[in-house]
């Protein structure tokens, strides 16, 4: 039997990505997000309009998507509740967010020079997608403060261990993306790490596997 419900979030499972964008002072802002999908060489990215990343991309559309592997989850969680904007809503502050201009250092991540407008990529990321935002679409209606950013991917860099014999193909058995489901981290179908974001959203704890709940 199915029940009609109104879930708090609808994150059914999407890859986690770290977005590099350029701040007004030329430095690189690094932001985790988990509403991304691809079609051809176009990426669609769902974000809140109040985020520093969106503010940056409205003015400076170049960006790098740093895809996240499971072994990066601890570093990712260290910056999950950090923001590059000194201004934030009461709701965001209430979830535990705080301002941090240098998320590379906070997360223990290494800067990597890219060809995109002097942006720093993440060296630990096995896949980096460089490009620019072609359009920004408002979504969710008036007052939602949400948008979908349409990115044109112009350069793809992949760790050679993930490539098949033909460099045009990434091995789906070797590439295991970190996934976020309902604010929780998953890798290979199993929980990967305690999520600060889940605590910030006051999500109920997951039942232990095999508990029969």
CATH 3.30.1490.100 fits 14-200, yes or no: no
User: Which residues are bridge partners to 45 per DSSP?
Assistant: 36, 149
| The pLDDT value given to residue 213 | 44
Q: 5-37 as b/e, with b when 16 or more CB fall inside 10 Å?
A: eeeeeebeebbbbbbbbbbeeeebbbbbbbbbe
Q: Residue ranges of the domains in the chain?
A: 14-200
At 69 the pLDDT is 95
Could you state, in chain order, the average pLDDT of each consecutive group of 10 residues for the chain (213 residues)?
86 92 95 94 94 95 96 95 79 79 95 90 96 95 91 96 89 94 91 88 75 45
Q: How confident is the model at residue 198, as a pLDDT?
A: 87
pLDDT at 212: 46
| pLDDT at residue number 132 | 97
Measured at the alpha carbon of residue 143, what is the angle toward residues 139 and 149, in degrees to the nearest 5?
30
Predicted confidence at residue 208, as pLDDT, reads 60
- Classify strands 36-39 and 28-33 as parallel, antiparallel or unpaired: unpaired
For position 52, what pLDDT does the model report? Answer: 92
């Amino acid at each position: 039997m199915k029940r009609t419900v109104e879930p708090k979030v609808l994150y059914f499972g999407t890859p986690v990505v770290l977005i590099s964008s350029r701040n007004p002072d030329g430095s690189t802002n690094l932001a985790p997000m988990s509403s991304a999908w691809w079609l051809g060489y176009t990426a669609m990215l769902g974000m809140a309009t109040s985020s520093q990343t969106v503010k940056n991309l409205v003015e400076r559309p170049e960006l790098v998507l740093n895809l996240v592997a499971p072994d990066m989850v601890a570093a990712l969680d260290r910056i999950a509740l950090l923001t590059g904007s000194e201004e934030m809503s009461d709701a965001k502050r209430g979830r535990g967010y705080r301002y941090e201009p240098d998320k590379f250092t906070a997360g223990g991540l290494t800067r990597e020079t890219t060809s995109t407008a002097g942006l720093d990529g993440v060296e630990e990321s096995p896949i980096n997608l460089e490009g620019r935002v072609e359009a920004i679409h408002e979504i969710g209606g008036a007052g939602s403060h949400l948008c979908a950013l349409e990115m044109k991917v112009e350069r793809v860099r992949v760790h050679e261990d993930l490539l098949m014999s033909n460099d045009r193909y990434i091995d789906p058995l070797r590439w295991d993306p970190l996934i976020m489901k309902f604010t929780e981290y998953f890798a290979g179908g199993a929980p990967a790490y305690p999520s600060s974001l889940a605590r910030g959203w006051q999500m109920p704890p997951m039942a232990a596997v095999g508990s029969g709940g």
